[in-house]
A and B are shown apart, each in its own frame.
Chain A
Amino acid sequence: KAGVTQTPRYLIKTRGQQVTLSCSPISGHRSVSWYQQTPGQGLQFLFEYFSETQRNKGNFPGRFSGRQFSNSRSEMNVSTLELGDSALYLCASSSRTGDNEQFFGPGTRLTVL
């Protein structure tokens, strides 16, 4: 069974641009969560989608948004990029919400110049 895939793996953008990151969960998994990891703030929850509905949202500005498609693939979008958005963005999938085990992808490393 293929694991969680995230594309692209690396991305360089400039301030003010927008970016879209993609996450494909493990086949059959319907829950996708997104996390931001930075050296200063550590790992922070962004949002969770389950069956195309946002179930939870972390404490991030509205520039951060996401969605989930009918095949459970998820995208997150960051508009008007700031230098502080440079981070590793991790996606995790599980078969259902409230699951004990979440499987993480390799992450997308975003650098904002």
Chain B
Amino acid sequence: AQKITQTQPGMFVQEKEAVTLDCTYDTSDQSYGLFWYKQPSSGEMIFLIYQGSYDEQNATEGRYSLNFQKARKSANLVISASQLGDSAMYFCAMRPVKAAGNKLTFGGGTRVLVKP
């Protein structure tokens, strides 16, 4: 079974500053994928970034980067140069690679509010 923990229920960040969202996970699987999604108030989940457990380098997608520390079982999301539109809920999720299917296990989420 997989478990995702996001310990920050909510946080404020100043516009144009960077913010790090914490995510730790627990799994017995050797091969797995880690995901981050953004959920604005509209409700739709927006895919941000993906990291495979065997990827050598940390994933980056524009202003998003994933700080992956396998030994610590952490996959923190870093958002650089925050914008007002970044205000949303952010979810960390994982899926074992060996298992057939797209079942994602989500963390509880972190609410980010960007201040002007």
Contacts and interface: CB of A to CB of B under 8 A. Distances in A.
For the residues of B in contact with A, the DSSP-based class is loop
A45 B108 contact: no
Contacts of A55: 100-102
A97 B102 contact: yes
A107 B44 contact: yes
B103 A94 contact: no
B106 A99 contact: no
Contacts of B44: 104-107
Given A90-B45, A105-B44, A106-B44, A33 B106 contact: no
A107 B43 contact: yes
**Most chain A CB neighbours (cut-off 10 Å) among B50, B103, B109:** B103
B102 A92 contact: yes
* For the complex of A and B, 6 pairs with smallest distance between CB atoms: A104-B45, A43-B106, A56-B101, A107-B43, A55-B101, A106-B44
Interface of B: 33, 37, 42-47, 50, 52, 91, 93, 97, 99-109
16 contacts: A33-B102, A35-B106, A43-B104, A50-B101, A55-B100, A55-B101, A90-B43, A94-B102, A97-B101, A98-B100, A100-B50, A104-B44, A104-B46, A104-B47, A107-B44, A109-B43
Interface of A: 31, 33, 35, 42-45, 48, 50, 55-56, 58, 88, 90, 92, 94, 97-107, 109
